[in-house]
Amino acid sequence: MATILAAIDEGGANTLLGDALASIPTLSKSGSGSLGPFTAGYSVQGTFAGGTVDLIAPSTVRIEHLRFNWQMTLSFGIDLDDFLPHFCLPQVCVDIPCVGHVCTPKICVSWPTIGVSVPFGDFVEATADFGIDVSLSGGQWKVQILVQNLSQLQFGPATAGILVLIGAAITPLLLAIPFIGPFLAVAVDLILAAIGVAGLTGFLGPILSPFLSGLKIPVYQQDKHFKFLPASGPVDPDVFIELDAVSAQIQHSDEDELVLSVDISP
């Protein structure tokens, strides 16, 4: 068997995977979800950073403190109808001589919906266990690690302040409503307080978790028809070897290493 071996230890893997994480382009998505009684639209984007690699034989790459730095814009529509009583001026009918029976229309007061956008950002961290995936597709060998198990998300310290930011954005708008504004502001603040950090992380968790749980980090990618020397003139064409088989595993001895084995032929 004609074999090429390449191995990298945890220190090297930290650098390699750190670079690979940094090279992942900004990820984004948008949607809507429920934050307490509010329905909020969101647009979120973020990038990966940090993490400490732990290689675990025979096939687990653990990254502790895997960090996702995110920025989100939350768009609320606060429907005052949800807070204020509905009331209508009833229809009134009178008989007017020479005119007849005259009725006023029923008039209902419709409270407006107050829209507000709140941008904020923080990070989440988790410990992720990755499995090793080796595939040959489209004439290209690819070794990547895929998340198999993700710990509970740990939110950064700024997350706790997000409710305050939301309250600070909404309150001035509510205060501007004549007569009842202050009461509405107090009501919304009470609702936000009731939502609390637990409710907020319950809202953010399902939004942010897929970014981490769907993470794939490339480790090795080469054409099966591997060009090891480029053409250097009319009589010196490209030179190729065939990468017939690729395997990857974590080997444990006096240290843990990610070992790539490549069988070749001319």
Q: Which is nearer to other proteins, 207 or 264 (CB)?
A: 264
Burial 238-251 (b: 16+ CB within 10 A, else e): eeebebebbebebe
Residue 162's beta-bridge partner residues?
A: none
Task: Tell me: does residue 117 bind other proteins (CB under 8 A).
Answer: no
∠ Cα 133 244 252 (to 5°): 50
Q: Which residues of 52-90 are buried (b: 16+ CB within 10 A; e: fewer)?
A: ebbbeeebbbbbeebbbbbebebbbebeeeebeeeeeee
Stretch that binds other proteins, among 36-44, 64-72, 106-114, 222-230 (CB under 8 A): 222-230
Per CB under 8 A, contacts with other proteins among 16-55 are 16
Stretch that binds other proteins, among 31-39, 66-74, 150-158, 237-245 (CB under 8 A): 237-245
| Size of the residue set binding other proteins (CB under 8 A) | 37
Task: State in angstroms the smallest separation of the CB of 192 from other proteins.
Answer: 47
Task: Please tell me whether residue 113 binds other proteins under the rule CB under 8 A.
Answer: no
User: Tokens standing for 246?
Assistant: 């690729």
Q: Is residue 82 within the footprint of other proteins (CB under 8 A)? A: no
Query: In degrees rounded to 5, what are phi and psi of residue 156?
Result: -70, 170
End-to-end CA distance of the chain: 12
Amino acid at 157: P
Task: Give the shortest CB-252-to-other proteins separation in angstroms.
Answer: 9
Q: Using the minimum distance from each CB to other proteins, give the nearer residue, 80 or 224.
A: 224
Rounded to the nearest 10 degrees, how much is the dihedral formed by the CA atoms of 104, 106, 107, 108?
170
Window contacting other proteins (CB under 8 A); options: 44-52, 111-119, 167-175, 248-256: 248-256
Does residue 57 bind other proteins (CB under 8 A)? no
Q: Which residues bind other proteins (CB under 8 A)?
A: 1-9, 11-12, 15-16, 220, 222, 226, 228-229, 235-241, 243, 251, 253-255, 257, 259-260, 262, 264-266
